[in-house]
Structure 1
Amino acid sequence: MLSVKVEDYGETEDQMHYVTYRASGLSEKELDFLLNNLEGETIVEDGDLLLNIFYSRKFFPFASDDAHFKLEDFIKREEIEMTYFIASFLEDMK
């Protein structure tokens, strides 16, 4: 079963913001499809897909003041949204 977790997030030296997601529970066929079709930096580590997405500050999910006070809620929301995105993306595989 697909599971997505926020692995890391922050800001690069050149002022780009990023979130790294770890997607587990994917078949080899699903991993291959995602590696060949997703935009962003993707690698496979220990059978999991690591997806690194870059954002401008305006769209960075953890940039708001609320995110600093409710960080766990914002992380969980990001995990749910990325799970939905990947599951929807995998529908194209069928």
Structure 2
Amino acid sequence: MGESNDSGIAALLLGFSGLDKFQREKFMGQLNHFIYVSSRQKRKLVDGWLVACRESADPAANMIAESMAEYVVHDRKPIKGREVRRLAGTGDESSSAS
């Protein structure tokens, strides 16, 4: 694992350490759900989290969404039977049936 990955994990763990008991339980439940769902469901969850962070009033959430959006866009593989394309001038994507 590279140093950049280590620092990302450390940042995530540091954020987790700042959660209260209720938030930690909620996080662990969502993480557990994410681990066991299909690849398609994982993409839907990530998309939902990106939207929630982008729309958040929390500047830290906005910053995380901006940095992750680029990673997700480049890592994504099109869903069979669907075309994934970038919207002109944005980092957003749009899907349309083929």
Q: TM-score range by the shorter chain?
A: under 0.3
Larger helix percent = 2
- TM-score computed with the length of structure 1 as normaliser: 0.28
- TM-score computed with the length of structure 2 as normaliser: 0.27
Which of 1 and 2 has greater Rg? 2
